[in-house]
Chains A and B, each alone.
Chain A
């Protein structure tokens, strides 16, 4: 589950690490991580609190030196090409922080001054984009957490970045705001940018991202396309009908069925093949006089997958 497609113009991964390790004394907060983030996608970086997500981001960005391993950003090895790489990156590390005595617009002015003249010209546009155009003259000290998150994203966009690295961007954002942010992230991907979302919110990652990596205890557990990590279970359907027990007996010896289990009033039917077998099974039930009201491919959610992985690790440790 480690073969990820390359997309975009860079001809390289947006982020690529080999054996990346960050130690604090004897403890490895990031332990020999080989991460590959494809360009031009929304990439979820998932892990429980304390898994090492933020430390990895800080190490990738050069905010703290790595103990071992290599990092490339947009194909540029770090730290040798740090300036060129980070000029194309917008990042929020941990919660977005600002000078509380300055207004939103003034905070962006300060950030744009460090970025360069092009960034200064984008201030009004990015404020409008994140929905803070009419609140930009207020001091950030009066902003809610959700507004600060949006201002943080605006600060990231000042550099017109090819890669956005956002650490827990949904924290403190209300449901409507989360919906807006999700749509914005997809728009950013549609513009050809790579959006790297670090989060412990499984549902948000699953709804927003194309690919995902799961990290725990500093180690990368798995990475791949979302459809590979979570999604439909191959050749398995969930069937709901008015008499599940009779249906289970009927399908027990069906030629298109490999196995049947019942749970919570539903039948989980393993088929020998895909759609044709599903249609045959449905036909059999209907012809037997059963009322079938639910047929859908069985899915494993990211949450199921995540819990499966982390509980396995818990047993192992």
Chain B
């Protein structure tokens, strides 16, 4: 398969996702609209009562806003990943693509870059908006340094791209977007944080994907709390890699072996 065909297939995956209006607009709202709205509310509060409400911007508030963005971006990532994984199967066109003779692994392989082509620009835009807001609205607070912003950017992309990868793999495995979104949002928003607080699980909690990604935060906090803070960096990276590999491996296996 030539690079040209590969790039065209990725473009086609991107087209399929971008043209889903509800998916695109909800992802845009989650990634790029919610955070500036929160900044605007905080700015209004600060202007109305500066004694009680500090400036909306600054380095610390950037951290808070990006943690919120990670949560919302993760939801967008799950939606996009699940749609990329199960879109062809759900529409019934998977068999037509297989009947072209193109490798099933190639059909699976282009889903991830196609999904990232839609998702990453949205996340980068969200990060940029949050950073600009934190600087413009810093007031008397310290501005975030370039190093801090870059560190946050790296963490944010990992923390939101991992759910996308998990969703893509699971949707390819199950062939269902709805079930995938339900299960993964339940995991991301409820199950993982609860498990993280069960002390009797000890270091077993290092295997929780959400806690592993929070280990990459520039500052202690997030949903990972003390568990993430005490997790060795190498362990966190391995955990993230294993989750991604298992999800993609399962999706690729199912795509290769399923009846079309």
Contact = CB atoms under 8 A, between A and B. Distances in A.
A109 B93 contact: no
Contacts, number: 86
Interface stretch (A85-93, A256-264, A281-289): A85-93
B12 A61 contact: no
Nearest to A82: B101
B91 A109 contact: no
A107 B100 CA distance: 14
B121 interface: no
Contacts of B64: none
Interface centre among A83, A87, A102, A110, by most chain B C-beta atoms within 10 angstroms, is A110
B26 to A, nearest CB: 14
Contacts of B100: 86-87, 111, 114-115, 159
Contacts of A64: 259-260
A307 interface: no
Given A113-B9, A114-B9, A97 B91 contact: yes
A86 B99 contact: yes
A80 B4 CA distance: 25
B5 interface: yes
B21 A98 contact: no
Contacts of A100: 91
Contacts of B93: 97-99, 110
A101 B12 contact: no
Nearest to B6: A113
B96 interface: yes
B19 interface: yes
Question: How would you classify the secondary structure of chain B's contact residues: helix, strand, loop or mixed?
Answer: helix
A70 B217 CA distance: 57
A64 B257 CA distance: 9
Nearest to A97: B92
B128 interface: no
Contact of B91 (A62, A99, A106, A117): A99
Contacts of B91: 97-100
The contact size tier of chain B is 20 to 34
Nearest to B90: A99
B260 to A, nearest CB: 4
A117 B96 contact: no
Contacts of B183: none
A22 to B, nearest CB: 11
Interface string B1-44: 00011001101100110011100000000000000000000000
A91 B12 CA distance: 20
A116 interface: yes
A138 to B, nearest CB: 13
A155 B97 CA distance: 11
B99 A89 contact: yes
Interface in B71-119: 87, 91-93, 95-103, 107
A111 B21 CA distance: 21
Given A63-B259, A96-B96, A112-B8, 17 more contacts: A58-B259, A62-B98, A64-B259, A83-B101, A85-B101, A86-B101, A87-B101, A91-B99, A97-B91, A99-B16, A101-B20, A102-B15, A110-B12, A114-B5, A115-B100, A116-B5, A159-B100
16 contacts: A62-B98, A63-B99, A85-B101, A86-B101, A97-B93, A97-B95, A100-B91, A106-B19, A109-B15, A111-B100, A113-B8, A113-B11, A114-B102, A115-B102, A117-B5, A155-B96
Interface of B: 4-5, 8-9, 11-12, 15-16, 19-21, 87, 91-93, 95-103, 107, 259-260
